[in-house]
Structure 1
Amino acid sequence: MFQNFISQYLATSGYLEFQPKAVMFDMDGVIYDSMPYHARSWHIAMQSIGIEMPPEDAYRYEGMRGVETIQQLFSKQRSENISEKEAQKIYKLKSDAFNACPTPSLMPGIKELMEKVKASGLKIVIVTGSAQHTLLDKLDRDLKGLVNRDLVVCANDVEKGKPDPEPYLKGLQKAGVEPWQAIVVENAPLGVRAAVAAHVFTIAVNTGPLRDSILLAEGANMIFPSVAALAGEFRLE
């Protein structure tokens, strides 16, 4: 699969071999076409405290835990800190606004891609910064037979969110594989940074408004314009 890019990965990572046994997927913007709703919800919540958060920022901060996103933007725009308790209140506003949005649909091509991954004998792992209580039920319903509940990492499973590598390191641990035995599929700059920091071969799918160069600058090994495009090209031989 994509031998030139794999050779580059091996040269820069220091690993001697690349033998994938698992593929780790981000959720928002990769599995679900949910980012426009997240962007709208973030704008509503942050506007309530006088903080500007244009749609591009929702994509730039995607993957980071919600409270941390609020604290960073507040500090950046106000030059002061907001307490975790107050940030939690704002994050609840954001969550309520998101829950009021229409149910996000699956990203075009994601089922085809996961079916190819499963048919190749690879484990499917979900690594998300989301803490939605209904997450597992939703994944079971929408991707029946493709997702294992024991192979899901969400915000509640880690102390540090993306861009820290902890979420992807936890995903590797759950799958029982080493970095050179995995692939990450990400759409967010911070998610790409986290995956690269975990030393995993990282494929970016640019499903948002950001320039390709932003994702490549974070270290993505490959980039595709959509999940469907990756699904069409995915192969291990």
Structure 2
Amino acid sequence: MPSVLSAQPQDVDAIVDDLADNGVAAPGDQSELAAVVQSAAAEHDLALSVVVVPRADGQAELVELAHAVRSERGGTVLVLSPEYTAAASDTYDDVDEFVDGLPGGDVQAAEQFVDELTDPGPPWLGIGIVAVLLVALVAGGGRWWELRRRRRRDAAALAAEGERLRSEVAEMADEMLSIESRTALLEDAGLGAEYSTVAVEYRDLVHEVERDPRDRRAANALAARVRALHDRVQALDLATRP
């Protein structure tokens, strides 16, 4: 069907009539554009109408024309002119985003418009979710590894502290025996009572240091008891010497 656009580019009824046979309203040979329209329908189920306007007074005129043709014909409408492009669609809310940067040739512009409109592109939401999960996984793994390394380091430190405390308590054994014998000879009630108290604490500590401290607080408390007992043993040792 011969186009009437060169005479009346704003005649929506004439354009809709021209689109009826092949989805294209354009001056001259429409076969290549018609092939793009047919391919869009066959491959993407896209009801495309392509309108080529030889001249336009501005972008707003083409936008108005695209919406007018869509209202009459439905589907997706692409309007091309040498200077401007516009689009309207019943299916795609953001169709205007795909008209910027189209090439100058009408066929090439229509092909790129279809490609960009129907290509979903990278699944940015999915990629974003995966990226967040990966970051969380890496962060969680790093945290887990750091906690494990810290626990192992703390366990080694507590084991070393337990061994040190056992050694200190063991070193007091000979002193305790020596003090016991001297206290018995002195027959001093006060020293005897102090020795009995120290001996009970010593026996308790012997049992306490058999196991490594369970945490740093327990290690500090046990070390304080060992130091206090050592001081009392030293004081008794001095008090019972001749």
State the TM-score, normalized to the length of structure 1.
0.22
| Structure label with greater radius of gyration | 2
Greater helix share, 1 or 2? 2
Q: Identify which of structures 1 and 2 has the higher relative contact order when contacts are C-alpha pairs closer than 8 Å and 6+ apart.
A: 1
